[in-house]
Amino acid sequence: MASEAAHRLDYRTIKPTIGAEVLADKPALLSGTHAADLRALLEERGVLVFPRVDFSEAELVAFTRTLGAYAPDRKDEGVTPISIDPAGGRSADYTRASFFWHFDGYMNAAPILASILCAKVLSASGGETEFCNTYAAWEALPEDRKRQIEGLQVVHAMAGAQRAVDPEPSYETLQQWLRVPRRTLPLVWTHRSGRRSLVIGNTAVNVVGMDPLESFELLVWLRDWATQERFRHSHAWSLGDAVMWDNTGTLHRVRPYPADSGRLMIRTKLAGEEPLG
């Protein structure tokens, strides 16, 4: 019993429908002792906060590997820097789409299971990261709305996300966006667990077979429903915080901050494990 107590994962819930603050130190997290419990808690709570754990780049990669298959963005398998500093070039331009609600990896047959973000440099203003629980949002929908949207399919495309940043793109810019493949996905994802979540966000362009304005109305209604206060957590960063979120059952966005603030996050991702389609 003493051994079980020593290995118990301590945490506190943040809101009834979303979030948990994990009360474990860095050595325990890096050891992998809590890996199974963290994965279960992530599916249950959607977002896990590790206050001021201050992972180095190598430690963040090591921690990610304790939880599942690491999905690096870089050939050297290092972390991904996240910044909108103009010095970052085109990647910084694309990152501005993160100011709007989205999930990651819609082009993947199995979307990214989870992402982990660690704060290295903070902005003096703005820069909070917000999350909403799309499992809880589905579960709380009125029954008539559930019947209306079950079985619907939605086209997701990079152009949808980037148009929020650049509402009147040049034709050349639009062609660049359209080179990125689009995917048609179910509006309601029935997971292998039996639970369901909403598949929405700024990549959602239109509902298949629906009048364009009626489609737009439905997608905006669902976004407002899913992101209302009771399903949402806004994380105000402290230096060294790490946050992990279930990319298959949440949306996220960053609140605006000055591009020249120097704000820098490092990110790792866990590879997808469940197909969506």
Q: First-to-last CA distance in the chain?
A: 44
| Token pair belonging to 140 | 């709380």
Give the residue with greater pLDDT, 83 vs 4.
83
Q: Tens digits of per-residue pLDDT, 11-53?
A: 999 999 999 999 999 999 999 999 999 999 999 999 999 999 9
DSSP 18: S
Rounded CA-CA distance 24/6 in Å is 11
Rounded CA-CA distance 103/201 in Å is 7
Rounded CA-CA distance 10/193 in Å is 25
Q: Tens digits of per-residue pLDDT, 104-136?
A: 989 999 999 999 999 999 999 999 999 999 999
| Token pair belonging to 183 | 């995917």
Query: What per-residue confidence (pLDDT) applies to 195?
Result: 95
Q: Tens digits of per-residue pLDDT, 205-220?
A: 999 999 999 999 999 9
Average pLDDT over residues 226-232: 98
Report how far apart, in Å, the C-alpha atoms of 276 and of each of 187, 197, 204, 215, 273 are.
10, 11, 15, 21, 10
Tell whether the model's pLDDT for residue 3 goes beyond 50.
no
Give the residue with greater pLDDT, 74 vs 245.
245
DSSP string, 79-117: PEEE---GGGTHHHHHHGGGGS-B-S-TTSSS--SEEEE
Query: What per-residue confidence (pLDDT) applies to 248?
Result: 97
In this structure, are residues 47 and 242 in contact, taking their beta carbons and an 8 Å threshold?
A: no
Tell whether the model's pLDDT for residue 91 goes beyond 80.
no
Tell whether the model's pLDDT for residue 4 goes beyond 50.
no
How confident is residue 94, by pLDDT bands cut at 50, 70 and 90? low
Does this model's pTM top 0.95? My answer is: no
| Mean pLDDT over each residue of the chain, to the nearest integer | 93
Report how far apart, in Å, the C-alpha atoms of 208 and of each of 33, 156, 158, 184 are.
45, 11, 17, 8
Laid out side by side, the sheet with 183-186 consists of 183-186, 153-156, 204-207
In this structure, are residues 146 and 140 in contact, taking their beta carbons and an 8 Å threshold?
A: no
In this structure, are residues 185 and 277 in contact, taking their beta carbons and an 8 Å threshold?
A: yes
Average pLDDT over residues 63-88: 90
Rounded CA-CA distance 245/267 in Å is 12
| Token pair belonging to 108 | 């993947």
Residue 59 backbone phi and psi in degrees, to 5: -65, -40
The strand pairing partners of 155, in sequence order, are 184, 206
Opening angle at CA 215, ends 177 and 192, nearest 5: 80
| Token pair belonging to 253 | 């966005």
Rounded CA-CA distance 62/263 in Å is 23
Question: By C-alpha distance, which of 43, 1, 53, 44 is closest to 22?
Answer: 53
SS3 (DSSP) at 44? helix
